[in-house]
């Protein structure tokens, strides 16, 4: 039995860290757990996201603008101007 599932070419995960502010204005942000520390210390794009962008651009011939529109329709905006960085 095979189950096929569709999704956007690039998927994003959003982490919302809890923040507390005291009356003096000092703000404290929760620490990131050890499991996710690697995600926050590395580049914005993971290696699989970069591989996806390279495959779409240089092998399949999809422009950065078209990929940005596809990502936007899937609810994961990925600006064409940041894809080439």
Tell me the per-residue pLDDT of 25-64, one tens digit each, with 9 for 90 and over. Answer: 899 888 877 777 777 777 778 888 888 888 888 999 989 8
- Listed in sequence order, the residues at least 6 apart from 78 whose beta carbon sits closer than 8 Å to its beta carbon are 10, 67, 68, 71, 72
Between these two residues, 49 and 5, which has the higher pLDDT value?
49
Does the structure show a pLDDT above 80 at 18? yes
Residue 66 and residue 57 in contact, taking contact as beta carbons nearer than 8 Å: no
The pLDDT score that the predictor gives to residue 4 is 63
pTM of this structure: 0.64
Kindly state the percentage of the chain with pLDDT values over 90. Answer: 12
Helix (H) or strand (E) holding 23: none
Identify the CA nearest to 78 among candidates 48, 51, 44: 44
């Amino acid at each position: 039995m095979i189950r096929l599932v569709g999704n956007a070419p690039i998927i994003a995960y959003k982490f919302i860290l809890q923040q507390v502010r005291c009356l003096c204005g000092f703000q404290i942000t929760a620490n990131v757990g050890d499991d996710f520390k690697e995600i926050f210390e590395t580049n914005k794009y993971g290696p699989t996201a970069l591989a996806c962008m390279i495959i779409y651009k240089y092998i399949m011939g999809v422009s950065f603008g078209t990929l940005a529109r596809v990502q936007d329709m899937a609810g994961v905006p990925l600006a064409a101007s940041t894809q080439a960085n």
